[in-house]
Amino acid sequence: MGILDGKTAIVTGAVGSIGRACAEGLIAEGATVVVSDLDAAAIEKAAEEIGAARAIACDVRDDAPMAAFVEGAVEIGGGLDIAVANAGVVNVAPVVENSLEDWRSVTSVNLDGVFVTLKHAALAMVASGGGSIVAISSITGKAGYPFAASYAAAKAGVISLCRTAALELREPGVRVNAVCPGFIETPMVGANKDRFAELSGLDLDELLEQAQGGYGKPADVAGLVTFLASERASLCSGGTYTVDNGLTASLL
């Protein structure tokens, strides 16, 4: 018996570390999970490895393919109960060195993509009697983070989008929440550590040892996402939930 038995879920960006852990967490609690990511071969492989019901390749920025992705889950489950809007990218650069194109390459995935996911998921959930939407924001959506302005701004936008959507969707029974991970050991962080050190003169590993007690794991995020997806969180909507081992609780 899992807390998500009989539920149908979608997860975007499920080839990546946190998305995959979220899909695994939902499956472990009994949900039927349909996953998506950009590359067809990669998402097929991930789906097979984790036991997802179906893999559908699509870009979170594309409206019609995302509608088809949600429809694919509804076909399997007879409705949609859970959506995890997880896909994201980062660009580490000083704010003044961002071209408008650089800026949009991040905000289009991290904010527009969450909007597109949320919209289609919410429409399906309203049609099938309610559900739970969890968007992966970041602690950088709550406080400044040098050299990731487009990322931080988009993540702040996700928090705001979730709050307003939660209010509009309360009556049809759709809960909407934002999860803000601290620093989680994933390729996204690994790939940008050197550039961050170059720009800031700071060693992220050392910094995090002090500020967060080291890196978190994708499963730390998945645990909270699974709870918010479940009916145990039935009064949780419009919230912003932090998973950072106290990093943002500290002034220094």
Near ligand NAD by CB under 6 A: residue from 166, 184, 204, 208: 184
When the beta carbons of 100 and 235 are compared against ligand NAD, the nearer one is: 100
The correct pick among 25, 72, 77, 88 for binding ligand NAD (CB under 6 A) is 88
Give 88's contacts (C-beta < 8 A, 6+ positions apart).
13, 109, 110, 113, 136, 151, 188
Residues near 52 by Cβ (< 8 Å), separated by ≥ 6? Answer: 14, 23, 27, 33, 34, 35, 46
Residues composing the chain: 252
Reduced to 3 states, what is the DSSP secondary structure of residue 12? strand
Q: Which of 69, 115, 147, 183 binds ligand NAD (CB under 6 A)?
A: 183
> Which pairs count as long-range contacts for 63-69, CB under 8 Å and 24+ apart, including other chains?
63/116, 66/116, 66/117, 66/120, 67/120, 69/10, 69/34, 69/36, 69/120
CA 31, distance to chain mean position in Å, is 17
| Residue, CB closest to ligand NAD | 16
Q: Does 162 bind ligand NAD (CB under 6 A)?
A: no
Q: Which is nearer to ligand NAD, 12 or 150 (CB)?
A: 12
Supply the minimum distance, in Å, between the C-beta of residue 222 and ligand NAD: 10
d(CA 67, CA 62): 9
Pairing state of beta strands 240-243 and 82-85? unpaired
Q: Segment near ligand NAD (CB under 6 A), from 93-101, 185-193, 197-205, 222-230?
A: 185-193
**One residue of 4, 7, 9, 13 binding ligand NAD per CB under 6 A:** 13
Interaction residues for ligand NAD, span 94-113 (CB under 6 A): 109, 113
For the chain, the C-alpha Rg in angstroms (whole number) is 17
Angle, helices 204-212 vs 193-200, to 10°: value is 90
Among residues 17, 32, 91, 177, the one that binds ligand NAD under rule CB under 6 A: 17
| Contact call for residue 72 and ligand NAD (CB under 6 A) | no
Question: Residue 148: helix, strand or coil by DSSP?
Answer: strand
Q: How far apart are CB 181 and ligand NAD at their closest, in Å?
A: 4
CB under 6 A: which stretch of 26-34, 121-129, 169-177, 178-186 binds ligand NAD? 178-186
**b/e per residue, 52-64, with b = 16+ CB within 10 A?**
bbbbbbbbbeeee
Q: Does 219 bind ligand NAD (CB under 6 A)?
A: no
Among 32, 86, 91, 242, binds ligand NAD (CB under 6 A): 86
Residue 38 in contact with ligand NAD, rule: CB under 6 A: yes
Catalytic annotation on 241? no
Which of 3, 28, 67, 89 forms a contact with ligand NAD (CB under 6 A)? Answer: 89
Looking at the annotation, which residues are catalytic? Answer: 151
Residues lying near ligand NAD in the complex (CB under 6 A): 12-13, 15-19, 37-38, 59-61, 86-89, 109, 113, 136, 138, 181, 183-184, 186-189
